[in-house]
Amino acid sequence: MASMEKIVSLCKRRGFIFPSSEIYGGLNGAWDYGPLGVELKRNLKQAWWDDMVAHHDETADLPGAPQPFGMVGLDSALLMNPKVWEASGHVGGFSDPMVDDRETRARYRADQLAVFALELVGADGAVERYDEVLFASPGEVGTSAPAELFEPHRKRIASLQKHKRAGEARPVAVPGALNDEALRAKVIAPGAAAPGTLTAPRAFNLMFKTHVGALEDNSSVTYLRPETAQGIFVNFKNVCDTARVRVPFGIGQIGKAFRNEINPRNFTFRSREFEQMEIEFFCRAGDSEQWYRYWRERRYRWYLALGIKAENLHLREHEASELAHYAAACADVEYDFPFGRSELEGIANRTDFDLRQHMQMSGKDLRYFDDQEQNEEARRYLPHVIEPSAGADRGTLAFLSDAYSEDEVGGEPRTVLKLHPRLAPIKAAVFPLVKKDGMPEKGLEIYRALKKRFNVYYDEKGAIGRRYRRQDEAGTPFCVTVDGETLTAGTVTVRERDSCAQVRVGVAELGAYLSERLGA
Ligand code: GAP
C-alpha cells in the first residue's frame, strides 16, 4: 500500500483535497475538496444514496434480508433544538478524555497516548525492565511500530542504552498510567524535558457550541450537530405520518457533522468537520438481531462491490466491554489505511434507546401504530433501531488509498488511481491525436456529445503519452483518441486505464459503449 505522504501529495498536486483556508495557514481538522475531489466524494455519496435509498426496491426479497422493507430519505437541519442533544446524551456524555502537557502546552486524547516502560536487552541476552522513567507517545504499544513510539524520546533512550550498556530497547505498555498520580509523575511527555508535566485526564465535550439569534447567553446556546442520526430520530413521527412507511423500514440521510476533536489527524480521517451517511432502520425488537446481521453483512459487501480489495477490509464485532450502554451489538467495517487499521463505518443495534429518550424529553408519543396488527397490546410499540453509520470523508480516503497504484507502462513509471468507474471523478477524456488535420474539430464534436451524458474532459495539449498519464493519475477509466481513421472510417481508439488495452469503437456506438462499461 502507498504511504500517506504519497496520497496526500497526489491529492494536493491533482486537486483532490486541500487544507482549508490554506492561504491563511490552514485550520487544523478542516479540509476542502478540489475539482477532482468534489466529484469523487459526490460520486461516493451518490452511490450510497442510490444503492441504499433511491434505487431500493421495497417489494423485493433481498438476499439475506428477513423480509422486504422500505427505505426513504431525509435532509434535516444542522442546527436543532438543544434539547435534542440533552435527550440523546451528547450534552452529558459526548466527551473524550483529554490530557494537557503543562510544559509544551500540547493537548492529547488520553486514550491515544501510549505510556510505556523499557525492556533493555543486555549483551548476554538478559532482559532488564527499566521503569524509573516512563515515556508517553501518540500511538499504541503493540500496534504502533516501536520506532514511532521511540521517536519523541530517541535521544534519551539512546543515552540510556549507552549508560546501561544495553542492546535492543523494547516498549512495554503501562496501562492506566495516566490515571495513576504516582505513575504519571514518572511520565515524560513528547517533547518535554522533565517527567510529571501531564495533567490527569479530564472529560472534554466534543460538541461545537454556538448561539442562535442576537443574544449570546445561556438561553441561546445550541450546537452544531455531532452526528446526523438525531435528525432522523426526531423526524420519526413525521415520516411515519406522511410517507406511508411500515415497520420494518429505514430512513437514510447524508450530511455534515462537527466534532471538536482533540487531535484531528491522519489527513481527513479524523476531522472536525466531516460528512456522514447514516441509516436508522426501524424494526420490531424481536427481529432486531436478524436485521443487525443483515445490515452488517450488506454494508461490508457494499465496499467490496465498489472495488475495495478484500484483503484490506475487515468486519470486527465489538467485545461486550466496548459497547455503549444503550447498544445491544456493534460491529465496525475496518480498513487497512496506510497509517494502520481503523474504522470506516459502524453498524450498531441501538435498541429503542433514542426514540425512548426523545419520547420522554419531548412528551410526544413516538410509538409506532401498526393498524394491521390484531393483538391490541402489540399494535403500539417503540421500534428498535439498527444503525449503519458511515463517513463520506473516511470512505473517500479509503477508496483513494485502495486505488492508488504505481506501475510501468512502456518502460515509464506511472501513478494510476484504479477507481471503480462509478466513483471516478472524470469518466472519459477525449484527445485529438494531433492538433491539426481536422482532429481537434472532430474531438470537440465527440466531447460535446458525450458531455451531455457523462463528466468528460477534453485535452489537446502536449504529447499523447503525457495526456494519458494525467488521466491515469486522476482515475479516468477511459481515454478516447481521435486519429486519422476517425476521419476516414468513423472510429476512435478507446484506451482502458488499468490494462492500457486499446480497442477501436465506432463514433456512433461510443456513448453506448462507455455507458455499459461505466454502469451509467
Ligand atoms: N450515529 C453514530 C455515529 O455517529 P460514530 O462511530 O461516532 O457513530 C460514524 O461515527 C462514522 O462517522 C465513523 O465510522 C466515521 O466514518 C465517521 N466519523 C466519525 N468521526 C469522524 C471524524 N472526526 N472525522 C471523519 N469521520 C468521522
d(CA 347, CA 302): 13
| Interval between CA 367 and ligand 1 midpoint (Å) | 28
In the sheet that holds 166-173, the strands lie side by side as: 166-173, 113-122, 127-138, 187-188
d(CA 467, CA 470): 5
Q: Is 187 helix (H, G, I), strand (E, B) or coil?
A: strand
| Interval between CA 208 and ligand 1 midpoint (Å) | 15
Residue (of 186, 208, 212) closest to 274 by Cα position: 208
Write the pLDDT tens digit of every residue in 197-209: 999 999 999 999 9
Answer whether 76's CB lies under 8 Å from 461's CB.
no
To the nearest whole number, what is the mean pLDDT of the chain?
A: 95
Check whether 215 has a pLDDT greater than 90: no
Q: Grid coordinates in use for 328?
A: 445491544
- Ligand 1 neighbours, Cβ below 6 Å, are 227, 229, 259, 261, 270-271, 274, 276, 278, 343-346, 387, 389-391, 393-394
d(CA 431, CA 434): 8
Terminal CA-CA length for the chain: 29
| Interval between CA 37 and ligand 1 midpoint (Å) | 20
Q: Which atom of ligand 1 is nearest to the CA of 271?
A: 24
- Read off the pLDDT of each residue in 243-260 and give the average, rounded to a whole number: 97
Check whether 449 has a pLDDT greater than 80: yes
d(CA 495, CA 480): 6
| Interval between CA 409 and ligand 1 midpoint (Å) | 39
Q: Is 211 helix (H, G, I), strand (E, B) or coil?
A: strand
d(CA 404, CA 267): 16
CB contact burial 432-449 (16+ within 10 A = b; e otherwise) = bbeeeeebbebbeebbee
- pLDDT at position 367: 97
| Interval between CA 458 and ligand 1 midpoint (Å) | 38
d(CA 207, CA 174): 31
- Read off the pLDDT of each residue in 5-23 and give the average, rounded to a whole number: 96
Q: Grid coordinates in use for 103?
A: 510544559
Whole-number Cα distances in Å, 201 to 71, 109, 322: 43, 8, 19
- pLDDT at position 325: 87
**What are the start-end ranges of the H helices in 363-391?**
none
Question: Which residue has a Cα nearest atom 19 of ligand 1?
Answer: 391
In this structure, the number of other CB atoms found within 10 A of the CB of residue 474 comes to 24
d(CA 271, CA 391): 11
| Interval between CA 131 and ligand 1 midpoint (Å) | 37
**What are the start-end ranges of the H helices in 272-391?**
288-305, 353-362
- Read off the pLDDT of each residue in 155-160 and give the average, rounded to a whole number: 92
| Interval between CA 258 and ligand 1 midpoint (Å) | 10
Write the pLDDT tens digit of every residue in 486-504: 999 999 999 999 999 999 9
d(CA 69, CA 362): 28
- pLDDT at position 123: 81
Which amino acid would we find at residue 289? E
Lowest mean pLDDT among 18-32, 63-77, 156-170: 156-170
In this structure, the number of other CB atoms found within 10 A of the CB of residue 115 comes to 25
| Interval between CA 270 and ligand 1 midpoint (Å) | 8
Residue (of 53, 47, 59, 56) closest to 74 by Cα position: 53
Q: Which atom of ligand 1 is nearest to the CA of 272?
A: 23
Check whether 136 has a pLDDT greater than 90: yes
Check whether 441 has a pLDDT greater than 90: yes
Q: Which atom of ligand 1 is nearest to the CA of 275?
A: 26
CA dihedral 483, 488, 489, 492 (to 10 degrees): 20
- pLDDT at position 507: 98
**Local confidence band at 390 (pLDDT 50, 70, 90 cut-offs):** very high
Question: Which residue has a Cα nearest atom 7 of ligand 1?
Answer: 227
25-28 long-range contacts, CB within 8 A, separation 24+: 28/264, 28/272
- Read off the pLDDT of each residue in 285-305 and give the average, rounded to a whole number: 98
Residue whose CB lies within 8 A of the most ligand 1 atoms, among 261, 269, 385, 389, for a mutation test:
389
- Cα of 236 vs its chain's centroid, Å: 26
Answer whether 199's CB lies under 8 Å from 105's CB.
no
- Read off the pLDDT of each residue in 267-277 and give the average, rounded to a whole number: 97
Q: Which atom of ligand 1 is nearest to the CA of 228?
A: 1
Check whether 510 has a pLDDT greater than 90: yes
| Interval between CA 344 and ligand 1 midpoint (Å) | 8
Check whether 520 has a pLDDT greater than 80: no
Answer whether 67's CB lies under 8 Å from 60's CB.
no
Question: Which residue has a Cα nearest atom 2 of ligand 1?
Answer: 389
- Read off the pLDDT of each residue in 466-472 and give the average, rounded to a whole number: 97
Q: Grid coordinates in use for 104?
A: 509544551
- Read off the pLDDT of each residue in 452-476 and give the average, rounded to a whole number: 97
Which amino acid would we find at residue 141? V
Q: Who contacts 139 (Cβ-Cβ below 8 Å, separation ≥6)?
A: 112, 114, 148, 149
- Read off the pLDDT of each residue in 416-444 and give the average, rounded to a whole number: 97
- pLDDT at position 376: 86
Whole-number Cα distances in Å, 101 to 151, 185, 191, 266: 18, 12, 10, 21
d(CA 113, CA 201): 11
d(CA 347, CA 315): 10
Q: Which atom of ligand 1 is nearest to the CA of 348?
A: 2
- Read off the pLDDT of each residue in 54-61 and give the average, rounded to a whole number: 97
Residue whose CB lies within 8 A of the most ligand 1 atoms, among 204, 258, 343, for a mutation test:
343
Share of the chain above pLDDT 90, in %: 90
- pLDDT at position 340: 92
| Interval between CA 53 and ligand 1 midpoint (Å) | 20
- pLDDT at position 141: 81
In the sheet that holds 502-506, the strands lie side by side as: 456-458, 428-432, 478-482, 491-496, 502-506
Question: Which residue has a Cα nearest atom 16 of ligand 1?
Answer: 391
Question: Which residue has a Cα nearest atom 21 of ligand 1?
Answer: 270
